Amino acid sequence: MKERFLELTVGLFLLAGLAALGYLSVRLGDVGLLDDGGYTLTARFTSISGLKPGAVVELAGVRVGKVTGIRLDGEDYEAVVELRIDRNVRLQEDSTASIRTQGIIGDRFVKLSPGGSEEYLQAGDEILETEPAISLEELISKYIFESGKK
């Protein structure tokens, strides 16, 4: 009898541990099974050099979403970036989206800057004000070739 009780207790403890491990894997792995009910916006950029799906979206240095998709608009030759924004974050219509780098050679992310409008973006809207990624290589080569002409 004692042996059965011990086996049952160990089995239940093992199941609880596996359930906790599965939950942590989904949460920390950012799998998306536990959706927070956020909304999707799009933004068009002339260059997104190095930005990848899954990249962070920040507002005032705080993570408020992530990049869920990137595609090329063949007509305008622009990159269309799909952003998933947390449901408790409201952005004004004249907000700005810019692509930045974490540190000197870190990952790219989307930085949102709020606007001053009284109207807010709704799910499916597009952020019209954007700033493309700055290419460090282009800046360095421009500096080198510009200074060589003097």
Give residue-wise pLDDT tens across range 75-126: 888 999 999 999 999 999 999 999 998 877 788 999 999 988 899 999 989 9
> Model confidence over 25-60: pLDDT tens digits?
777 665 555 556 789 999 999 988 889 999 999 999
pTM of the predicted model as reported, rounded to 2 decimal places: 0.70
Sequence-ordered list of residues with C-beta below 8 angstroms from that of 140, at least 6 positions apart, any chain: none
